[in-house]
Amino acid sequence: MHPAKSVILFTTASGAGYGLLAWLGLLAAFGVLPSERWFGLAAFALGLGLVVTGLLSSTLHLGHPERAWRALTQWRSSWLSREGVAAVVTFLPVGLFAFYWIVDGTNSDTLAVVGLLASLCCLVTVICTAMIYASLRTIRAWASPWTLPSYLVLSALSGAVLLNLLLQLWGLPHNGAFAWMAAALFILAGLVKVLYWRNVMYGEPAGTAESATGLGPQGRVRLLEAPHSESSYLMQEMGFRIARKHAEKLRRLTLLGGFLAPFVLIVVGQAAPGLGSLLAALASLPLLAAGLAVERWLFFAEAKHVVTLYYGESRA
Amino acid sequence: MTSLPRNAGPVKLGLVIDLDICVGCHACAVNCKEWNTSGHSAPLTDSDPYGADPSGVWFNRIHTFEVVNEAGDSRTVHFPKSCLHCEEAPCVTVCPTGASYKRQEDGIVLVNAEACIGCKLCSWACPYGAREYDEDVGVMKKCTLCVDKIYNENLDPRSRAPACVSTCPAGARHFGDLGDPQSEVSLLVAARGGYELMPEQECKPVNRYLPPRPKRQTPAVDSGAALQPATPEGEAAGLLARWVDRVLSR
């Protein structure tokens, strides 16, 4: 599949934003959210900024962005519509949460409830984002049971890395414990992605040239002549091939550079709380961001659509 | 509403394509383009049509496959492909805006260009590559089964068939109601073992394909003595030929 930059930015940025907001809400629900005002403002600005950047970016690849509001109407059948509705609804509890935490700052019971609610809404939105892809039977790599866990764990991880950095910057209590949480998520993310990629590599094909043409009973099928001599929309959108050639290298790059290296940094940083853990948290962010960019690019680029079976592929 | 019609009517209009007859002339694709570029989803935009890198919107594409059987014999199969107007059309249910819909009365899948936001998700959901994005207009387009032709009372009744069917010079394309088991197309499908494409995708396409008939087994031809090279010693060569050969060989 064609890896559109706007969709890569949409899924990674909104995933990180919702991850961060969900962690904040969860900390509030457990009553361990620091009541530091500037920390709260920074965390919200970052979380909401990422979410809004992601959502706006997702409208960039539309043919008619001005009609985007229409996408909120078909939630009964469409995961894309559900994602839109969930994203809009989530602003409400997140806004209330921000109000009770930063502006009001007194009522801890209400804060816990709206925090939990905001956290749940973020979770639902990320689930909807993942299901847009996981519900497409035409793309075997995405229809895998590991697509949803991948999106969830990567959203939680990127949120945790951001929150860890903020906690370290402000030198707030519990920052040591949260650093360990971020470290653990790096390992979990690596594990889930390995399982996702194993399915991409070894899973049963969704179709073959024989099943696509229905000519299997007559023999082996191969494309003799394409329907058109020049490229077409279908070939540009679904026929992206470059990634599969480098997939193995890019997977290793993601695992080692994007997950393992920041994991080691954060664990080592814990040996020197204060400056050490702060530097580790700072360094882990660009490493994860680069790793996620590669991971998401690969998610799209290496996914093979069954329509390619009509254009010369033998399995998809 | 992008949910599929809850009480789908009995009529399922669709195409039956005879892979035994199709000669791969692309006339159906060309006439499709000609009719539809001024029809329901007009225009079928081309970009750089006379330049070095032409591309454009087509609703119908003709692929050509080679099928090799176990004995190593191969045959060429021309394979026209357009929207199959699926009963469980995934392109309809994924649409976030309601622009993509399936008609209750005849099962035709259409796009409302006024409501399409051009997110392209329907083209990802379709296993058959039936949808093409019009970069110029910013909306998705697809085969309309010539909805503006098949019901057109200004046309002679014989012309009220999709452009691809009307134009096929070989008679490889048939149009009719596949929901009626007694219709001509349904009887044809039953008689010839017509099948659906990629049933494993569970889209329940309406269109059917008729498989190429088995090849006639022609006995190996004995090329006979007439085609053997003449040798002076061989009995095949007559007296005169042997004499000429001897004279010229000196």
**Which of B65, B118, B140 shows the shortest C-beta gap to A221?**
B65
Q: Chain A to chain B, count of Cβ pairs less than 8 Å apart?
A: 195
User: How near does any CA of chain A get to the CA of B233, in Å?
Assistant: 47
Same domain for A106 and A142, yes or no, is no
Domain count, chain B: 1
Same domain for A97 and A142, yes or no, is no
Same domain for A201 and A287, yes or no, is yes
Q: What is the pLDDT of residue B234?
A: 59
Q: What is the pLDDT of residue B3?
A: 79
In a domain, B248, yes or no: no
Q: What is the pLDDT of residue B133?
A: 97
DSSP secondary structure of A37-59: HHHHHHHHHHHHHHHHHHHHHHH
Q: What is the pLDDT of residue B227?
A: 64
Chain A, nearest residue to B120 by Cα? A62
Q: Is A310 on the interface with B (CB under 8 A)?
A: yes
pLDDT at A273 exceeding the cut of 90:
no
Q: Is A138 on the interface with B (CB under 8 A)?
A: yes
Q: What is the pLDDT of residue B23?
A: 97
Q: What is the pLDDT of residue B203?
A: 97
Domain count, chain A: 2
In a domain, B6, yes or no: no
**pLDDT tens figures, A206-240:** 999 999 999 999 999 999 999 999 889 999 999 88
Reading chain B (250 residues) residue by residue, the pLDDT tens digits are 567 887 788 999 999 999 999 999 999 999 999 999 999 999 999 999 999 999 999 999 999 999 999 999 999 999 999 999 999 999 999 999 999 999 999 999 999 999 999 999 999 999 999 999 999 999 999 999 999 999 999 999 999 999 999 999 999 999 999 999 999 999 999 999 999 999 999 999 999 999 999 887 776 666 666 666 666 565 666 788 778 888 898 8
Q: What percent of chain A has pLDDT over 90?
A: 89
Q: What is the pLDDT of residue A266?
A: 96
In a domain, B146, yes or no: yes
Q: Which of chain B's residues have a Cβ under 8 Å away from the Cβ of A73?
A: 96-98
In a domain, A154, yes or no: no
**Which of A135, A218, A238 shows the shortest C-beta gap to B211?**
A218
Q: What is the pLDDT of residue B64?
A: 98
In a domain, B3, yes or no: no
Interface predicted TM-score of the whole assembly (ipTM), two decimals: 0.94
| Mutation for testing the A interface, residue in B97, B139, B143, B210 having most A CBs under 10 Å | B97
Q: What is the pLDDT of residue B11?
A: 97
Same domain for A178 and A315, yes or no, is yes
Range of the domain at A235: 138-149+168-316
Same domain for A82 and A175, yes or no, is no
| Mutation for testing the A interface, residue in B117, B137, B215 having most A CBs under 10 Å | B117
Same domain for A204 and A300, yes or no, is yes
**pLDDT tens figures, A284-311:** 999 999 999 999 999 999 999 999 999 9
Q: What is the CATH number of the domain that holds B71?
A: 3.30.70.20
Average pLDDT, integer, range A243-265: 94
Same domain for A130 and A175, yes or no, is no
pLDDT at A205 exceeding the cut of 90:
yes
In a domain, A315, yes or no: yes
Same domain for A197 and A125, yes or no, is no
Measured CA to CA, the distance from residue A214 to residue A217 in angstroms comes to: 8
Range of the domain at B199: 13-210
In a domain, B2, yes or no: no
In a domain, A155, yes or no: no
Q: What is the pLDDT of residue A240?
A: 80
In a domain, A126, yes or no: yes
